[in-house]
Amino acid sequence: MLNGKEKVVLWICRCVLGMSLNLERRDKVDITSFQYLMFIVIGITVYYSIPLKLRYKWLIILSFLFMFSASKFGFVIVFCTSFLVYKVAIMIEYASSKKKILLGAMTVCIVILVCLKYLTQLLPETNKQYITYYIVPIGISYYTLQIISYLCDVYWERIPAEQSYSRILLFTCYFPQMVQGPISKYNEMEPELFAEHKFEWKNIKYGVQLILWGFFKKMVIADRIGVVVNSIFFSGTKPYGMTVIIGLLLYGIQLYGNFSGGIDVIRGVSECFGIGMIDNFNQPFFSKSVGEFWRRWHISLGRWMKDYVFYPFSISKSMGRLKKYLKNVVGRKYANKIVMAVANILVFALVGVWHGLGTNNLGWGLYYGFLLAAGILLESQCNLLKNRLHITSDANYWKGINWVRTFMLITLGWVFDCSYSMGGAIELVRNMFKFKLSNFSMFSLTNLELVMWVLATVTLFVVDLLHERQVSIRDELSKKNYWIQLIVWIVIIQMIACFGRVPDAGGFIYENF
């Protein structure tokens, strides 16, 4: 039997180790859990209490504990993969057959990802859970892309190969980003991760504010809408007409609140350690074209695809040959455009498959790929038409039309997320036009819940609008009187407490990808 002191030590150990000593079955690490908060609080306290030079090593320890809590042996795979990447990067710098080494290492990383993440999806449920619980490292989809970007950057001599293994290890497994990204580049993260961060109250304050704002978006807005969205699309009854349209609009807000809320929590946690991370969202719903939307939504993935798939593919030999052939058939201008269009379709198809193996994911990728391709191919015709109609691009009404068009196309694209297959998505689109069958009994919200949800969504819109106008709300708020700040944050905390609890709301949609 343990005595009282030992029990206290064990309890503290458990908090420090996060979920590590917890041997219950767990398939997700919930970053909204009290345990995660304890883990962060103790992690930060130790971080700022140890010598500066040891701090990044403490982050490695925290990251391994976090990984261990999610899958018992997943950290071994991360350890081995990062060691391979570390060695290969050094070899690339000195070897003569750089390309072969790069391709070999990339193949290994991709094979591991495909085997662990995608092929396991084909296994029976019990085996799948077992493999996820014991073997698949948390965040494998995110860190695999990160290490591939590192290898490519070394290969293209954008950055030198890192000589310290522990640094590559931390870059691979830095725990906040293991949950749902963002997908960072080594040259961005290196100065952040390994700088000697002194304790600054501002970092903690801003970090906590970002965490709370993330919780607000997730719990008050996304989870509450999630109940309605689930009842419309995933409760077994088919939605029709206006029910589908409202459901898709709500799903867009839910996904935005959920995903960007999760990223805010992650960035907030990282900021508390003094480590800045790129934002994955830049007010995407203010976009005036589909292309712009994807430059503002999941920015790090889009940027990764552009840098490591789109450009290499566009300038590849096969595309060069295609361009040469097309020049003779349609002329130089259109040849370039067709090549760009094909590259876009490929990139989005890949992004779709990255999300999952379902035909709806592929359909999603192809939908956006073809939309962007059409935009590229029809650009000059559109400009011609615009000139004939004397439309100026800066005119507000034109901006409004573009915004509405983009919003409608994006909203329509959610059908792939709200169905289980490509066929299901097509059926959903068909049902969308059967207005007589609309059923509003699926919107089971009380009046107060509805009012609060609308108010919260309007708050989100206003905050995004201010960000769009380059207003830093945190800076503006910090200039205000202390008591005003106090009231604002107490209100947000109370909003989360009063309205942010939805039974079995589930975690973040992109969590543990």
Which chain residues interact with another protein by CB under 8 A?
7, 11, 14, 22, 24-25, 30, 32-35, 37-38, 45, 48-49, 125, 198-201, 219, 235-236, 446-449, 452, 482, 486, 489-490, 493-494, 496-505
Contacts of 347 (CB under 8 A, 6+ apart): 305, 306, 309, 310, 313, 369
The amino acid that residue 35 corresponds to is Q
**Phi, psi (rounded to 5 degrees) for 107:** -60, -45
Minimum CB distance to another protein smaller for 342 or for 456: 456
Place of tokens 């030198």: 160
Minimum CB distance to another protein smaller for 125 or for 394: 125
Q: How far is the CB of 9 from another protein (least distance, A)?
A: 13
Structure tokens at 397: 């009404």
Using DSSP's 3-state secondary structure scheme, residue 377 falls into helix
CA distance 74 to 72: 6
Structure tokens at 282: 């830049």
Minimum CB distance to another protein smaller for 50 or for 401: 50
Structure tokens at 46: 């130790």
Minimum CB distance to another protein smaller for 475 or for 504: 504
Q: How far is the CB of 208 from another protein (least distance, A)?
A: 10
Minimum CB distance to another protein smaller for 4 or for 475: 4
Q: How far is the CB of 204 from another protein (least distance, A)?
A: 9
Q: Would you tell me how many other CB atoms lie within 10 Å of the CB of residue 443? A: 15
Q: How far is the CB of 267 from another protein (least distance, A)?
A: 18
Q: How far is the CB of 229 from another protein (least distance, A)?
A: 15
- The DSSP call for residue 119 is G
Q: How far apart are the first and last CA of the chain?
A: 41
Minimum CB distance to another protein smaller for 94 or for 236: 236
- The DSSP call for residue 53 is G
CA distance 177 to 512: 10
Minimum CB distance to another protein smaller for 404 or for 487: 487
Contact 39, 22 (CB under 8 A): no
Q: How far is the CB of 255 from another protein (least distance, A)?
A: 19
Structure tokens at 151: 């290898």
Per residue, what are the HEC states of 450-497? HHHHHHHHHHHHHHHHHHHCCCCHHHHHHHCCHHHHHHHHHHHHHHHH
Structure tokens at 371: 């939309």
Q: How far is the CB of 185 from another protein (least distance, A)?
A: 31
Q: How far is the CB of 511 from another protein (least distance, A)?
A: 14
Minimum CB distance to another protein smaller for 22 or for 316: 22
CA distance 160 to 337: 34
Q: How far is the CB of 193 from another protein (least distance, A)?
A: 20
Minimum CB distance to another protein smaller for 4 or for 317: 4
